[in-house]
Amino acid sequence: MGTVASRLFGALRFWFAAIRDVLLPRGCAGCDKPDEVLCPSCASLFGHVYRKALPGNAGCCYGCSWYRGAVRQAILNWKDHGDEECDCAFALLLADLALKVLRQEGPYSRTRSLALVPAPSSASSMHRRGRWQTLPLVRLMARRLDRQGFSAVAKPVLKLEGVQGKSVQASSAQSRSRRIAGHVRVTEDLKGDDSLFIVIDDIMTTGATMGQCISALRAAGASNVIGLALACTPNRDE
């Protein structure tokens, strides 16, 4: 009976989605161009490699776009307005960024074993959005990188504990960084794992949050850790 109900539910969902697509065709998440999840012109804005040194000697981090214009619009639609169809497009862009960084950065050019770690969200952010938004990105990235000859696994080992969440827009980078300082926990012992750990975040502002994630992974035994983000907020001179 359960199977019949779930088949019926699946069929209804399919037809509702088909009818919705006919009546309300979607637009590009960045510029609203019809019939695209992310149009080629907006996708090309995510095709860069920007390197950022992290504060406090935490290493470095890479982003594939600047957080402004159509990039900002696309990320806000995905993150705060439930446009989950962007998961796949963003995961592919982040996988491309990972491939470029691995190729061009000497110490990682022979790396084959990758542990992809989603940046943590607070319990209240996850409740508000209904999900941990970096987790599906990391799972899709792992599949993509596996097909490129890597051994890539999603490793959701970072948790934010005891943090009251606010949206990115409602708080400055500094106040977010202060709020999560000391609250990033690693749920596994990583000693002896010589994978390259890659923390995946959506938006990187000062890098303080990314730095705290990287430091927590190192303290848990991960020896090689870098960070990747979909977008970096530009510094004043950029």
Q: Quick check: 59 and 210 in contact, CB under 8 A?
A: no
- Closest approach, Cβ 74 to Zn ion, in A, equals 7
Q: Which residues bind Zn ion (CB under 5 A)?
A: 28, 30-31, 33, 39, 42
Question: 31 or 123: whose CB is closer to Zn ion?
Answer: 31
DSSP 57: G
- Closest approach, Cβ 164 to Zn ion, in A, equals 35
Residue 70 class from Cβ within 10 Å (0-12 exposed, 13-18 middle, 19+ buried)?
Answer: buried
Question: 30 or 207: whose CB is closer to Zn ion?
Answer: 30
- Closest approach, Cβ 27 to Zn ion, in A, equals 8
- Closest approach, Cβ 136 to Zn ion, in A, equals 21
**If we measure between CA atoms, which residue out of 162, 164, 144, 163 comes closest to residue 154?**
144
Largest CA distance in the chain: 63
CA distance 76 to 128: 14
- Closest approach, Cβ 233 to Zn ion, in A, equals 20
Question: 39 or 216: whose CB is closer to Zn ion?
Answer: 39
- Closest approach, Cβ 75 to Zn ion, in A, equals 13
Question: 77 or 233: whose CB is closer to Zn ion?
Answer: 77
Question: 39 or 231: whose CB is closer to Zn ion?
Answer: 39
Question: 91 or 158: whose CB is closer to Zn ion?
Answer: 91
Residues 6 or more apart whose CB falls under 8 angstroms from that of 119 comprise 134, 158, 199, 200, 201, 202, 209, 210, 213
Residue 110 class from Cβ within 10 Å (0-12 exposed, 13-18 middle, 19+ buried)?
Answer: exposed
